[in-house]
Amino acid sequence: MFQMVTNVEDLNQHDALVLGIFEGEPFHEEVEKIDKLLAQQVMKLKRAKKIAKQGQTTVLYTLGNSQVEALYVIGLGKKVESTTESVRETLASVSRQLKEDKISKVAYLVESLASEQVKKHDIAVLIGEALALGTYTVLNYKEKNNEVEVSIEQVALLGEEDLVGAARVGYIYGQGTNRARKLVNTPGNLMTPTDLAEEANELANEHGFEIEVLEREDMEKLGMGALLAVAAGSDQPPKMIVLKYVGDPKSEELVGFVGKGLTFDSGGISIKPRENMHEMKMDMGGAATVLGAMDIIGSIKPKVNVLAVIPSSENLLNGSALKPGDVITSLSGKTIEVRNTDAEGRLILADGITYAKQLGATSLIDVATLTGAVMIALGDCTTGAVTNNNDWMEEVVEASIETDEWIWTFPTYAPYKKMLKSSDVADLNNAPGRLAGSITAGLFIGEFAEETPWVHLDIAGTAWQSKASNLGPLGGTGAMTRTLAQVVINKEK
């Protein structure tokens, strides 16, 4: 898909060339060459302030005066203010326009997009990411028309340095994120725990992962009482899905990802309001993130060992459903009083975390659309985090900075932990109240991580966007997919 080209003359029948213009900066020399062929129309439009506004793309047709049919001129703002985040978003916007314009062959003038802060290598990665993220569409189930969709098939990087590998890595990151998005956006009747297990099996076949899927009978033998309790209200059988990637057979280190796989959440007996309940198909966003990250890891193949554990069920209500006041026994042996059946994610994660430890995980990251409270605290742009190990948390934060996925770490002071023990009949209370709801939910999971280095990521706000953006359409975002993969890849450095 990607290739290097050293000058414009080498471009052969490309439909479009993407080039950047910084505010108040002279044109890149290659832009000047092209502009001369076009009777300096680009410069005239810039002086008239009709192009190159920040984030704006202007399409100029060359009318046979260049090797490309059209120039996609993008405004990058002030060069000193350029960031990977702003460039990614602008390139994603261009990618969407290229797709709408049915462009199949595109070239990028890499140096025209670079700055002191965002080097050429970074630009190549961002081009790959933005091509995947910006062109993603949500599958719909409407009666189809006869229009043939054109996709971008060839991408030329114009420059002296070989940046094909960097662009491919970026594209892999974007595609892994899109895989997570696809899973989140799939309707609940088409994404049951069984369907989720089939998706994991498909991923295992693609990348050669080890895979194990525990059925209800297996869970009963092992004593996974928390997962089974949540699943009791549904006719769909629960699954405990396990994937393992062995990148370094000599190492005893095993990074464990645990993703919440609630394929639909009605709230159970503590039923949710009907408004927007259709969006609860996204309650398996943590599982989707883990599978998307494993897709990236399987493609890049770092020398690190990774375990993915996904407890999966539906949270519905029937005559057998979990009830407020019930006491259940988790896989760890800890007992839990259920005060709220809509606080079910932490229950299935309790057994997921314990099982990951039993399978040898030496560090843990759990990902879950866990609490509405995290949106009150942080909105929909930042993921909330809870940890028992500051060093491990720093590794996760470092990876999130590299991927521009924001994380904020909540405090874990003793009074918060004490709230979890407020049951008179069990070891733990699954819903001690509204105060500090995101913190106590995370710390509940931490009770099962115990001494194993652990980070909890609450993506309830970031896993779903209610309106389209340059980086993607309404629906699942794939939040934290790239960060999880980056955590693993950074261990190779």
Pairing of strands 407-409, 383-387: parallel
User: Rounded to an integer, what distance in angstroms lies between the CA atom of residue 339 and that of residue 328?
Assistant: 11
Strand partners, 427: none
Q: Measure the N-to-C terminal CA separation of the chain; round to a whole number of Å.
A: 27
Strand partners, 108: 18, 157
Q: Is 17 helix (H, G, I), strand (E, B) or coil?
A: strand
- DSSP H/E element including 428: strand 428-429
| Residues 134, 470 contacting (CB under 8 angstroms) | yes
User: Rounded to an integer, what distance in angstroms lies between the CA atom of residue 437 and that of residue 448?
Assistant: 18
Q: Which of 99, 346, 357, 491 is catalytic?
A: 346
In angstroms and rounded to an integer, the radius of gyration of the C-alpha atoms of the chain is 24
User: What residues have CB less than 8 Å from 135, skipping those under 6 apart?
Assistant: 95, 96, 98, 99, 151, 152
Name the one residue in this structure whose structure tokens are 């770092």: 302
Query: Among the residues of 143-280, which ranges form H helices?
Result: 164-185, 193-207, 216-222, 225-231
In the residue annotation, 168 being an active-site residue is answered as no
Amino acid at 90: T
| Residues 257, 293 contacting (CB under 8 angstroms) | yes
Q: Which of 53, 79, 119, 272 is catalytic?
A: 272
366 is written with which tokens?
């759990």
Q: How far is CA 202 from CA 133, 196, 197, 199, 294, in A?
A: 22, 10, 9, 5, 12
The DSSP 8-state label assigned to residue 143 in this structure reads P
Q: Is 404 among the annotated ligand-binding positions?
A: no
Q: Give me the phi and psi of 244, to 5 degrees please.
A: -135, 130
Q: Is 265 among the annotated ligand-binding positions?
A: yes
Q: Is 101 among the annotated ligand-binding positions?
A: no
In the residue annotation, 346 being an active-site residue is answered as yes
Name the one residue in this structure whose structure tokens are 């961002």: 126
Q: How far is CA 292 from CA 41, 173, 257, 344, 481, in A?
A: 44, 9, 11, 23, 6
Nearest to 315 by CA among 293, 338, 289, 292: 338
Strand partners, 211: 243
| Residues 349, 445 contacting (CB under 8 angstroms) | yes
Q: Is 344 among the annotated ligand-binding positions?
A: yes
| Residues 439, 360 contacting (CB under 8 angstroms) | no
Nearest to 299 by CA among 489, 490, 92: 489
Active-site amino acid positions: 272, 346
Known binding positions: 260, 265, 283, 342, 344
Known binding positions for Mn(2+): 260, 265, 283, 342, 344
